[in-house]
Each structure stands twice: as C-alpha cells, then as structure tokens.
Structure 1
Amino acid sequence: MLIYHGSFCVIQKPKIEYSRDKLNFGKGFYVTPLMEQAEAWVARFKRTGRNAIVNCYEYDENKVCQNYRIKKFKEYDDEWLDFIIACRNGDLIYQEYDVVEGGIANDKVFNTVELFMDGLISKYEALGRLKYQQPNYQICFINQEVINQYLLFKGSSEK
C-alpha cells in the first residue's frame, strides 16, 4: 500500500527520534494512506511560507502484522478516546505497540476531546458527538525497526 507523510522537507529515512511527544498515538512517525489528508497537512506549511512536501512510501502491512504488535482503532469509540487522552497526557501506553492505526484527532475532533478532558462534557456526550465525524486515517510507527525494514521511500512532491 502507498502511504504519505506531509512535511516541509523530503524525508527519505524517517527517524522517530525527531517526533514530538504527547501526540495522538504517542511519539512516532505519522503517515496516512489518504493523499488528500497529507495535502491538507502540508497546507499549514504553505500558509507560513515554508515548503510543502508530500513524501510517499510503500508499506507492506501484511508482513508487519506477522511480526509486530499492531493496534487498530476501527472507529471513534471509548477505547480510542481513552488511548488518545492517555497519549496526549504523556502516558507511555503507546509503547505496548509497534504500530498504531486509526482515526485522527484533527482540530474538529480534538475540540470535542478537549471538552471532555476539561470536564465540560461527559464521555457519553463526547462519544455521541464523535460518531458524526468522518474519521481521517493515520498510521503511527512507534518502532524504528518497522520503519527501517518495511517503509520504502518512493518519492516526494512539492504542493
């Protein structure tokens, strides 16, 4: 499968060490199988006058599934919400996995998550709001070995 990473530079050999902490699925290298999502990610670089680069990689998910621990969230549900909040709060729960996949907590979704985190709405209400959101999809590579062995850089394009 082809997957994409939006950045301000070409990234032929991704390194997790350059990732920020406390992201949706923890510290890792984030990609998406949706080109339009990657293009939306790089739009923020363009708005600030920086380069907007979409990097493309080949990823053999079947081989990774045989040898590594993968967590897939199929929808915005109770488990997804707990996981996102734990990771955003700095909990290292994500380190139980090599790869985590699922819906992205974009600005619209994260507004609901923040309302819940701040105690302004209940978990029940948060999940009720999230069920109407169309999830975008992200894949987070947490284990550098998976990247080194199973991501093949195919090229990049400036947007």
Structure 2
Amino acid sequence: MILYHGSKKIVESPEIRIAKYNKDFYFGFYCTLLPEQAIRWATRFDGTGYLNEYLYTPNEHLNVKIFPEMTEEWLDFIVSCRLGHSHTYDIVEGPMADDTIFNYVQNFVDGKISRAAFWELAKFKRPTHQISFHTARALTALSFVKGVEVRDEE
C-alpha cells in the first residue's frame, strides 16, 4: 500500500517528533492514503512543500488500532490524545479531525458543545484519512519511495 506524507522537506527517514500540541492520535509520524490531503499538509503555510511517498508493509506483530469511520470510540480516543494522554498502539488509522473538525472537537472538550452537537456539525465534512506511526518499530513498516516538490494550486 502506498502512503503519503506532506512536509516542508523530503523525509527519507521518518521519525516521531514531539510537538507543542497533541495531535489526533497523539505524537507520531502521520501519513495518509490521499495524496491531495498530503499536498494540503505540505503547502499549508507558504504554498510550497514536498509530497513524500512510502510503501507501507503491514506487520502482524505490531499493535494496530483502526477506526473505519468517525464513531463515539474514535471521538473519545481523539479527545484523550488531544488532552495529552498517550496510548499503547504502534499504529493508529482512521478519519482525521481536519481544521474544522478539530474546532468542533476542541469545543466538545471545552464543554462548549454537546456530543450530539459535535456529531451534527461533523456529519457534513468531507472524508479524510490518516495513519500514524507511534513507535520506532512501527516506522520499520515504511519504505521511502520518493519525494517531489508540490505547490498549492488554489
């Protein structure tokens, strides 16, 4: 399976970086099945970046959590991760809380909207995908293929 990672540089050797803010599935190396989504990640700040392509080879010995769609379990998992709670998975895959969904998640976490209101707002958003690698062992499932410069065409 081919996965994509959008970045400001070519990333031949992926690594897990601890960032200022917790992400949907906690700290990890994030990829997607959707090249257009990775291009948005790569170009979001100044209109240029790199689309990195990897061959992903699943490993049955890794602890993998897959969320096929946005569910109550998915929402609770994201809220927990965004609150800074780690997990024991090597890899987590599922829908992404994009900028708009993130705002809804944050409003839910802050008690500004109810769970029901979150789902009402979230149901009209376009499908997204993310797969995150959380351990060094998980990163061995990725093999770098290539990186190409991309530009935001909007």
TM over 0.5: yes
C-alpha RMSD of matched pairs (Å) = 1.4
Superposition deviation, residue 56 in structure 1? 0.5
How far 1:143 moved relative to its partner? Answer: 1.4
1:68 Cα deviation (Å)?
A: 1.1
Q: What fraction of aligned residue pairs are identical, expressed as a percent?
A: 38
Q: Tell me the equivalent position of 1:31.
A: 31
Listed as ranges, the gaps of 5+ residues in structure 2 are none
What is the distance in 1 between the residues matched to 2:26 and 2:122?
20
- Looking at structure 2, the residues matched to 139 and 89 of structure 1 have their Cα atoms a distance apart, in angstroms, of 19
* Mapped pair 1:88 → 2:79: no
Q: What is the number of equivalent residue pairs in this alignment? A: 149
Unaligned stretches of 5+ in structure 1? none
Mapped to 2, the partners of 1:135 and 1:76 lie a distance apart of 10
Q: 1:9 matched to which residue of 2?
A: 9
Matched, 1:56 2:25: no
Residue 136 of structure 2 corresponds to which residue in structure 1?
Answer: 144
Shift of 1:84: 0.8
1:124 paired with 2:121, answer no
1:75 aligns with 2:69: yes
Please report how far the alpha carbon of residue 86 of structure 1 lies from its aligned counterpart in structure 2 after TM superposition.
0.8
Preserved contact between residue 75 and residue 135 of structure 1 (Cα < 8 Å): no
Shift of 1:115: 1.8
Distance in 2, Cα, partners of 1:98 & 1:120: 32
From 138, 149, 156, the equivalent of 2:147 is 156
Aligned partner letter, 1:124: A
Question: In the aligned structure 2, how far is the partner of 1:19 from the partner of 1:119?
Answer: 27
| 1:104-134 Cα distance to aligned partner (Å, 9 max, x none) | 1111111211221121211122123222222
**SS of corresponding position for 2:27:** coil
Supply the AA of the counterpart residue of 1:28: G
Mapping of residues 103-118 of structure 1, within 5 Å: 103-118=95-110
What CA distance in whole angstroms lies between the structure 2 residues aligned with 1:11 and 1:25?
A: 20
After the TM superposition, list the runs of 4 or more consecutive aligned residues in structure 1 that deviate by more than 4 angstroms: none
